[in-house]
Structure 1
């Protein structure tokens, strides 16, 4: 896309990996071309190669302050970690006394490579020690009292010099005093990957036994690393074979990687081109970025204390926004950040921040912004400008009060879905009357919702809960205090002054919003106060016909399940009646909008749910009696797992949701498809703020994922239309396409890899 290509990349994810320093890349390439000999060969080419290796090893020893300790070249930090752990545990195993209980200690915020390796070798070597995580305080500092108590019986202790997510560093001198005062012989591994180039190291002056390092974290290529072994520390080769590295690590040495490391070590020693900034300069860069974040997002919270963190890492959260939203926003501005450790991209919570005791929302919303010592003032200035532009884009979406050059507001019309974790809030806006209603407002979204109402100049008619929620407090009170002070309502927010309409010889309460009615339907079961709110056509309802647009069913029906009925306020028999009554009232195809969406399915209907939920199907077809339903529902609720984070699950999921095979396109295939079939509709499903930062005329329409349900409603009349969905990376387009397919859309595909890959071909 032209806008994307015109905007140069600002890379702020250096803790995941760094670009290769140009001079280091040149050295690696030159070595491949002209000095490609095997260091183990005795001819001139081999001797030249060995000289490069020996020179690099010597410089590594100087940079690390290795003294008489050994530096062994590896494929990277993970191999170095295995080497240290295997060596220590093999030696410790020989010293174990029968009948004595032993432990292995590691820091609770350690990179997962460490505890997973400890578990592996503890099992393989049949040591069977108890592996214990050392707690940290709110600043990420290891608990010295815990170490003092536990280390006397420990075979090994693993700690971290600098944390990869927060940049928090440990006081290695203080740590050493605690460890050695309580166990002078315990083997000690320190993960120094993030410390190189950011903290001074004099390893020979410490009792650290093993210290792994990785080249690609500091401008060297991937696939090269090294590990420090203290003089006298036990050693067991992790890789045996041809006897390279003096028999300590077999396998032909990565000479191009070593040549690149040679350049990096020169920079660290001040003998290079001076591209690495001083610590004082790096501190100024962090301060500049932090100020830009505060100015752009006034509510931003930093998840670590700068006083005990290296200056190259900022970890923050913005209230009301998930990490995925901010990552997508920054990516649209061509700023690369991450949501935590790049090695655990599927994890929604940060175990590091959890260990530090931060609130769940901060852990879920965490963003890591990191840079290396070769960053320039120009790059930092550009990053700050773009951060400001990101805030302007959120202002365009009315998700943030921001002023700037993106003036045209994205007007809300119809239904918008907001999510926090598995919980949903629904906002329906009528632009003609400038009115809105909010269903199941979450407290975490209160500020965002208030901002939207103010920015869009919408009058809030009602903020309503579908039931009393067990897993969170309602955000309705904050909304009512700002917009509904004069309104009298019940405990769920349903107004007392309403219209009464007759339907099927029954009286229903209704609220008017534009040309729609909100109809209140009592559907007890999940809780005794559960209601369903049906948004329907006003004119038809006045004529005695119900034409639903959306059915806000709370936790009566969930995607892939039914709401749990094992609360004290639940009534399973009533749920049976509510299900039959509601299905008869709204029909099989009306869109059901639950208050929870645990699997990113957005919306559903009775037909789709009955096809995969045998219990629901049997209720709707009268194949099960009330008594049988109660028994089967009790069995279903036994599968509920409330141990998923801190979120109370409101329904049981006994099997994975069915996913249909989708048509996936790569960029050339999509181009050919569109040229051959002009009827296919290309849909960009990024959010308005992403679209405002970077859009293309290639797309027929922008349908943000938060408004997918509204699009489904508008498109239900023509499910045969061919739709091809596109997003930034292909992940959102895939889940959106699955949702459309599940609801009966016949021809749905998506661009695999999204636009991020479509312009690399």
Structure 2
């Protein structure tokens, strides 16, 4: 059993495992850079003593670089980083090739399908600028990430340049340089060949002069030097065109005053690589042991883990993995809360999306979308690895307490669920309602990606599943209702959407409605066709009062009848705009205008809505609710609205006809200083941490003692709908979730809402 800290007095120390994105500057390298700025600050182009001393540093570092990469008679040019080196190589190769083009031939530019995006984008750019108009082609890879040699042999005879990488930045997979060399030169002796060596430096042996590689860019910040310094190898007699012209520095190959502090830092790193320093890097054999130790800890923490690459053909400093049932963002948030830094695939994209590298390798979509990259450098120590492994297991235990994984040893520490929980996958929503007193639950609009998560929650929380129900037959996904029902409701007889056949009946507004009991509440079924012929709405309400014949509705699960800033589309074969008109009026008569609506899609991260909130921005709905148009008029306008639906890329079908651009409301943003000042004033301010319980349990600020996970924000809205004047300040990891939640609350009428800009990432108390 573990005791996770609630408000730790001492924050967890940082464990940094994202070295493939960037590395910290080693103290020795930083000291050399600072010393150069303070004492050896001369311009290397100056002929006085101070300038000559500066030039000596550059030439000494250049020679060290040549030794490390085995440059032979090739040149080493200092650059601002790998991207500049890539531009220089591609520009040089294409500008030279343009002079020899045969107008009767078709040419191509080749690059590896798993190449860093800087390469294909640069190829396209210079291909266009130089008006070469060659076809840019990606070289396929197999499931191991290895380039297709047959494809290269076929295409390289017409290639003006071929670009490959020594080591992949996401998976650590390395290519067989000798085999590539043989394949390329057997089919084209003169094409230019660039090899991205950024991730290879310090992790593999390089001997570039013994290959036919023409260009190889390197980056300093991937190996403990500052950002803004890099270098590139250019083979002797390879075509070269200066990317930056000017004062003629670097022997006229790269103009601009040299980054002397950066070069000095590189000099220290190179001395460590060459073994000429008392400070050395961890041997390769030990790095392999480090990776195995991390893999063992990950497997212990997450028994279902899948590694996305083979350790047999990847450098030992990279692990890329996916954990079934968890998105990459969830695992990143979990590790961040444990002060353990990892990334989702490549850090060069600010958005967390599927990995194009893993897609190219043919891995299943879930692995690509859930990928986590854990990477370290050769300066990693045994002590750091030991602490990282301890932290990984520690973080995973927080998931167990949140009932997202099951461990019988600590199941007693579980955090009980209560009320409404919202789950999102893409634009789709599933809803779980739990009655704490009776430990009973219902699951509405079950998404297939959530099947195992729901089963884990039910088992861990020891819940009794009363029903699993779809609000309609979904066009954009296959419901997992049958799978869940088979395990938990095998004896229950239902209709095709999962509504229990033996449900009770009540009279509301003079009409009969079926309902089931969930604790002290009812779930009432209402037929609301329109989006589809079988569409229903489910109203979670207090038991009906026969005397007043009115419902007190807490939540209306209306499927795709009414969405945020949208009405469900009515251009499916079973749709009916006329039926939707009637259903909207019926829904309003049963739930009023202020009950919370929980649709089956949330395309704009608005969580929930109400008729009051929607009629202010949905003129067609406002006309329906106010009886200003009839069914025929609604049908005409709705048909026009549906013509503007644009389905998303891939398999996601848009189920709502969006009204506009969904303009976000502005909310007050606090900084650390303004929040500290506000806390010093007498007020009834309520500070809320929006992270999930597993993040909150690992670490949070003592001021934010109220934890309202974003998945339970709708429940919070329902509980506080009669106190919308309360001053609320929200916080999360980075400020993204808190901003979305604050905007949603303001849109729903909460009057005093703000959030901490930048979240915990930028603010410490």
With the shorter chain as reference, the TM-score category is over 0.9
- Whole-angstrom CA distance in 1 between matches of 2:313 and 2:631: 62
Matches within 5 A, 1:260-279: 260-279=265-284
Q: CA deviation at 1:175?
A: 1.8
What displacement does 1:539 show?
Answer: 5.2
Give the whole-Å Cα distance in 1 for the aligned partners of 2:163 and 2:686. 55
Q: Which residue of 1 aligns with 2:361?
A: 356
Residue 478 of structure 1 pairs with residue 483 of structure 2 = yes
Q: Assess, with a 3 A threshold, how the Cα gap between structure 1 residues 644 and 408 changes in structure 2: closer, same or farther.
A: same
CA distance in 1, matches of 2:344, 2:553: 39
Contact 2:329 2:352 in 1 (8 A): no
Check 1:172–1:628 CA distance in 2 against 1; reply closer, same or farther (3 A cut).
farther
Conserved 8 A contact 1:277-1:375: yes
1:198 aligned residue (198, 203, 217): 203
Of 635, 640, 650, 2:645 maps to 640
Aligned to 2:441: 436
Aligned equivalent of 1:397, options 402, 409, 421: 402
Query: 1:37-52 to 2 correspondence within 5 Å?
Result: 37-52=42-57
2:253 to 236, 248, 257: 248
In 1: Cα distance, 2:545 partner to 2:184 partner? 77
Structure 1 residues 96-127: Cα deviation after superposition (integer angstroms, max 9, x where no partner): 22243322122221111111212222222222
* 8 A contact 1:165–1:341 mirrored in 2: yes
Q: How does 1:175-324 map to 2 (within 5 A)?
A: 175-324=180-329
Range that drifts further, 525-534 or 61-70: 525-534
The equivalent position to 2:338 in structure 1, one of 326, 333, 341, is 333
Q: Distance in 2 between matches of 1:360 and 1:615?
A: 38
Q: 1:27 maps to which residue?
A: 32
CA-CA distance at 1:4 after TM superposition: 7.7
* Cα distance, 1:36 vs structure 2: 1.0
Bigger drift between 266-275 and 594-603 goes to 266-275
Q: How far apart are the structure 2 equivalents of 1:435 and 1:550?
A: 17
Q: Secondary structure at the match of 2:658?
A: coil
Task: Work out the CA distance in 1 between the residues paired with 2:546 and 2:750.
Answer: 28
The reply on whether 1:387 has 2:392 as its aligned counterpart is yes
Which residue of 89, 93, 96 maps to 1:91?
96
| Alignment pair present for 1:720 and 2:714 | no
Q: Is the 8 A contact 1:560 1:653 kept in 2?
A: yes
Say whether the 8 Å CA contact 1:724–1:749 is kept in structure 2.
yes
Instruction: Quote the Cα distance in structure 1 between the aligned partners of 2:325 and 2:511.
Output: 41
Cα distance in 1 for partners of 2:556, 2:453 equals 24
Q: Which piece of structure 1 moves more, 35-44 or 273-282?
A: 273-282
Residue 138 of structure 2 corresponds to residue 129 of structure 1? no
Aligned: 1:529 with 2:534: yes
CA contact (8 A) 1:322 1:420 kept: no
In 2, Cα distance between equivalents of 1:291 and 1:652: 49
Paired residues of 2:411 and 2:460 also in contact (CA < 8 A) = no
What does residue 418 of structure 2 align with? 413
Deviation of 1:369 (Å): 0.7
Q: Which residue, 436, 448, 451 being the options, matches 2:453?
A: 448
CA 1:406–1:18: 2 relative to 1, 3 Å: farther
Q: Counterpart of 2:3?
A: none
What pairs with 1:500-579 in structure 2 (closer than 5 Å)?
500-538=505-543, 540=545, 544-579=549-584
More deviation, 523-532/457-466: 523-532
SS at match of 1:3: coil
What's the secondary structure of 2:239's corresponding residue?
Answer: coil
**CA distance, structure 1, for counterparts of residue 273 and residue 15 of structure 2:** 23
Offset of 1:72 from its aligned partner? 0.4
SS of alignment partner, residue 147 of structure 2: coil
Match of 2:750 among 714, 732, 745: 745
**Is the alpha carbon distance of 1:588 and 1:63 closer, same or farther for their aligned partners in structure 2, counting shifts above 3 Å?**
same
Q: CA deviation at 1:456?
A: 1.1
- How far off its partner does 1:79 sit? 0.8
Distance 2:180 2:658 in 1: 46
Secondary structure in 1 matching 2:507: strand
Check conservation: 2:428, 2:600, Cα contact below 8 A. yes
Does residue 735 (structure 1) correspond to residue 740 (structure 2)? The answer is yes
Q: How many residue pairs end up in the alignment?
A: 760
Match of 1:492 in 2: 497
Which is further off, 87-96 or 65-74? 87-96
Q: Distance in 1 between matches of 2:532 and 2:445?
A: 15
Q: Tell me, yes or no, if the aligned pair for 1:392 and 1:403 is still in contact at 8 Å.
A: no
Q: Is the 8 A contact 1:683 1:726 kept in 2?
A: yes
The runs of 5 or more residues in structure 2 that have no matched partner are: 1-5
Q: Closer, same or farther in 2 for the Cα pair 1:427/1:270, shift >3 Å?
A: same
Alignment partners' CA distance in 2, 1:670 and 1:689? 25
Residue 345 (str. 1) matches residue 325 (str. 2): no
Could you tell which deviates more after superposition, 221-230 or 161-170?
Answer: 161-170
The 8 Å contact of residues 400 and 410 in structure 2, kept in 1 or not, is answered as: no
Q: 428-437 vs 27-36, which deviates more?
A: 27-36
| 1:567 Cα deviation from its structure 2 partner | 2.6
Kindly provide the CA deviation profile for residues 681-735 of structure 1, in whole angstroms up to 9, marking residues without a partner as x: 1111111111111133312411000100100111111111111101111111111
SS at match of 1:389: helix
Q: How far apart in 2 are the matches of 1:95 and 1:641?
A: 46
| Residues 182/655 of structure 1: CA separation in 2 closer, same or farther (3 Å cut) | farther
2:153 to 141, 148, 157: 148
**Quick check: 1:106–1:157 contact (8 Å CA) kept in 2?**
yes
Report the Cα distance in structure 2 between the residues aligned to 1:108 and 1:641, rounded to whole angstroms.
Answer: 29
Unaligned 5+ runs, structure 1: none
2-side partners of 1:404 and 1:755: how far apart?
31
Partner Cα separation in structure 2 for residue 49 and residue 149 of structure 1: 49
TM-score, length of structure 1 as denominator length: 0.97
Go from structure 1 to structure 2 and tell me whether the alpha carbon gap of 1:627 and 1:178 turns closer, same or farther (over 3 Å shift): farther
